[in-house]
């Protein structure tokens, strides 16, 4: 009769029938065993002090295990010569593995020593005897409370169909997965930016019908500016968005996939199951396909871990625990660093905004939303401007010196008002200059007129009256007239030499003075 291994259930059945009073031959006939086999099992039971008269109360798992261990030989593959070779070189193998030498390299080193052993044998020996390949114990991570955690990942998807120019464009997708129910939402985008992250989150809150309490993103630059296990620094725009929607950000550690195990392998699944084989022409078609897949295909397929439909699981346990969904669209702000140039302007989103003179060459932090642009220096608000379209300027006149601002803005009225302060006719002459059609030339003429006014004062007003009476509006000829009038009205004063240059007479000096000096001293000799 061929050997047949008896299972534990069959051994238990032998003992059960025996304790019920069935004879050995009856047990063997009923179970198809040899009588000797039955007798061997019962002998072990009697050796443990169990008799058939004890009844079923004596049957327990310990008795069955003891009978199986005593009657069935230990199974396993016998060790060969290669195992003995490995045992003989145990210290050599263990020493190199302790120094983080790869096992294949250890085999090569053994062969250099003239020791031939197969890699499979070496690997089995290292795993069984030296603990090779035994990592840390795997502990399942808790799913958390309903509606608390939402894990986020991104990845490249497929190419869209060619456009009118024959070009194909590849898109990415933001993938949101509820930790408890595994319900999933996919949002395709072209670029992985902070703006697209906020846009995807807004679409996710609409899809889930609420906001999760905690978002667990990967270390994408769109959300995490400076990764750190304890104190990561997030981008200003996304942090402000999280504060506005009321959820927390709990970013994962770098190169620690177990921190977001629910979404770690979702990118290939989404790419192959959701978009694989699809012919999508636009990003809107991709988003429609992703929404249908999330609701009807993935959402209604039984999850292998939870053994529930993700969509049904989410609706039953998580939706009610979410924060209220946003009722108004979010105005995505733009945060950027900008330098104030020497002209006192800073560029934000291709628009220019004026800053005070003392902030020139400073690096400021700017926040631009749909209405306002705010400038901060070391966290302090220093300037606010209305938002302008690209290519336009927002100028606060208080930021500039009045003369410089008027010159830059071609404000001739400002210089005319200054000219009127120097006299009525100077003001009239300035108005005549400002009436010329050439913008920059008339400004330069006004500058020269004001310079003449500061140099000659009230005399310029009379010269301007004479020029206006003759219909002469030429600033150079006016300058000649002022100089001529000044020369005729006030001739230059003659230089007067003092009568006495010394306080003592010439006789007190050792050397004689020159004749002219003696005359000045009153000495006739």
Three-state secondary structure of 246-268: CCEECCCCCCCHHHHCCCCCHHH
Q: Is the pLDDT of residue 508 over 90?
A: no
| Domain coverage including residue 428 | 404-489
Residue 54 lies in a domain: yes
Of 396, 429, 445, the one marking the end of a domain is 396
316 & 197 share domain: yes
**What tokens were used for 515?**
């004749």
In a domain, 235, yes or no: yes
Please list, in sequence order, all residues whose beta carbon lies within 8 angstroms of the beta carbon of residue 219, skipping any fewer than 6 positions away.
Answer: 227, 232, 251, 252, 253, 254
Domain shared by 289 and 157, yes or no: yes
Percentages helix, strand, coil for the chain (3-state, rounded to 5) are 45, 15, 40
pLDDT confidence of residue 1: 46
- Looking at the fold, whether 289 and 314 belong to one and the same domain comes out as yes
pTM above 0.85, yes or no: no
The residue length of the chain stands at 525
In a domain, 382, yes or no: yes
Q: What is the pLDDT of residues 208-261, one digit of tens each?
A: 999 999 999 988 999 999 999 889 999 999 999 999 999 999 988 887 777 777
Instruction: Please check whether residues 248 and 111 belong to one and the same domain.
Output: no
Q: Are residues 426 and 501 in the same domain?
A: no
Q: Tell me: the pLDDT tens digits for 372-409?
A: 999 999 989 999 999 999 999 999 988 888 877 777 77
- Res. 366: pLDDT tops 50: yes
**Number of structural domains found in the chain:** 6
Domain match, 379 and 443 both? no
pLDDT level of residue 67 (50, 70, 90 thresholds): confident
Long-range contacts of 366-374 (CB under 8 A, 24+ apart): 366/334, 366/335, 366/336, 366/337, 366/338, 367/236, 367/333, 367/334, 367/335, 368/333, 368/334, 368/336, 369/331, 369/332, 369/333, 369/334, 370/331, 371/331, 373/348
- Does residue 137 belong to any structural domain of this protein? no
Residue 444 domain-assigned (yes or no)? yes
* Interstrand relation of 345-348 and 372-377 (parallel, antiparallel or unpaired): unpaired
pLDDT given at position 147: 93
Do 306 and 172 share a domain, yes or no?
yes
Taking a C-beta distance cutoff of 8 angstroms, is the pair 280, 245 a contact?
A: no
Mean pLDDT of the chain: 87
Strands ordered across the beta sheet of 248-249? 184-189, 170-178, 149-159, 214-217, 248-249
Asked if residue 92 is part of any domain, the answer here is yes
Tell whether 142 is covered by a domain: no
Listed residue (372, 366, 379) closest to 339, CA to CA:
366
Say yes or no to pLDDT of 162 above 50.
Answer: yes
> Rg of the Cα trace of the chain?
49
Query: Same domain, yes or no, for 168 and 221?
Result: yes
Domain limit, last residue, from 321, 352, 377: 321
Assess whether 381 and 412 both reside in one domain. no
Cα(229)–Cα(252) distance, integer angstroms: 7
- Please name which of 409, 407, 430, 423 lies closest in space to residue 461, comparing C-alpha atoms: 423
**201 in the same domain as 166:** yes
My answer on whether 286 and 374 are in the same domain is no
CATH of the domain at 288: 3.30.420.10
Interatomic CA distance for residues 155 and 160, integer angstroms: 15
To which H or E segment does residue 368 belong?
Answer: strand 363-368
Last residue of a domain, one of 297, 321, 345: 321
Q: Which tokens in the block code for residue 300?
A: 């209604």
Q: How confident is the model at residue 499 (pLDDT cuts 50, 70, 90)?
A: low
Q: pLDDT digits over 272-324, tens only?
A: 999 999 999 999 999 999 999 999 999 999 998 889 999 999 999 999 999 99
Confirm whether 1 is domain-assigned.
no
Residue 500, φ and ψ in degrees, nearest 5? -125, 130
HEC sequence for 204-242: HHHHHCCECCEEEECCCCCCEEECCCCCCEECHHHHHHH
Residues 159 and 229 in one domain: yes
User: How far is it, in rounded angstroms, from Cα 173 to Cα 155?
Assistant: 6
Look at residue 352 and tell me whether its pLDDT is greater than 90: yes
The answer on pLDDT for 515 being more than 90 is no
């Amino acid at each position: 009769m061929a050997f047949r291994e008896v299972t534990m259930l069959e051994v238990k059945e032998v003992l059960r029938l025996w304790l019920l009073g069935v004879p050995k031959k009856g047990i063997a006939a009923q179970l198809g065993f040899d009588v000797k086999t039955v007798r061997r099992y019962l002998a072990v039971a009697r050796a443990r002090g169990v008799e058939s008269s004890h009844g079923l109360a004596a049957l327990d798992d310990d008795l069955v295990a003891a009978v199986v261990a005593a009657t069935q030989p230990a199974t396993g593959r016998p060790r060969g010569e290669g195992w003995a070779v490995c045992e003989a070189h145990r210290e050599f193998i263990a020493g190199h593995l302790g120094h983080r030498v790869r096992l294949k390299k250890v085999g090569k080193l053994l062969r250099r020593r003239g020791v031939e052993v197969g890699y499979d044998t070496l690997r089995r020996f290292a795993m069984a005897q030296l603990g090779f390949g035994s990592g840390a114990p795997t502990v399942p991570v808790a799913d958390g409370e309903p509606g608390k955690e939402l894990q986020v990942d991104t990845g490249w998807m497929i190419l869209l169909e060619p456009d009118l120019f024959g070009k194909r464009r590849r898109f990415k997708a933001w993938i949101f997965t509820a930790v408890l129910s595994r319900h999933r939402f996919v949002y395709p985008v072209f670029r992985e930016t902070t703006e697209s992250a906020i846009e995807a989150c807004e679409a996710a809150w609409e899809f889930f019908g609420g906001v999760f309490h905690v978002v667990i993103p990967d270390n994408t630059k769109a959300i995490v500016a400076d990764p750190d296990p304890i104190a990561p620094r997030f981008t200003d725009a996304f942090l402000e968005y999280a504060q506005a929607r009321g959820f927390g950000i709990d970013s994962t550690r770098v190169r620690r996939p177990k921190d977001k195990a629910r979404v770690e392998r979702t990118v290939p699944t989404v790419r192959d199951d959701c978009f694989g084989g699809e012919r999508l022409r636009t990003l809107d078609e991709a988003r429609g396909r992703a929404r249908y897949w999330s609701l009807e295909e993935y959402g209604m397929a039984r999850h292998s871990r939870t053994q529930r439909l993700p969509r049904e699981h989410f609706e039953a346990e998580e939706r009610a625990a979410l924060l209220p969904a946003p009722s108004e669209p979010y105005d995505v702000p733009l945060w950027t660093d900008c330098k104030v140039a020497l002209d006192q302007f800073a560029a934000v989103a291709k628009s220019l905004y004026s800053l005070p003179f003392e902030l020139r060459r400073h690096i400021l932090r700017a926040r631009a939303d749909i209405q306002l642009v705010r400038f901060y220096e070391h966290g302090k608000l220093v300037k606010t401007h209305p938002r302008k379209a690209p290519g336009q300027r927002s100028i606060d006149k208080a930021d500039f010196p009045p003369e410089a601002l008027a010159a830059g803005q071609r404000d001739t009225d400002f210089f005319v008002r200054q000219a009127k302060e120097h006299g009525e006719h100077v003001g009239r002459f300035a108005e005549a200059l400002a009436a010329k059609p050439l913008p920059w030339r008339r400004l330069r003429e006004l500058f020269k007129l004001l310079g003449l006014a500061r140099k000659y004062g009230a005399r310029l007003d009379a010269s301007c009256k004479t020029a206006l009476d003759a219909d002469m509006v030429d600033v150079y000829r006016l300058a000649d007239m002022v100089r001529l009038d000044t020369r005729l009205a006030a001739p230059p004063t003659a230089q007067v030499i003092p009568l006495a240059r010394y306080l003592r007479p010439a006789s007190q000096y050792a050397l004689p003075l020159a004749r002219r000096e003696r005359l000045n001293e009153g000495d006739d000799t």
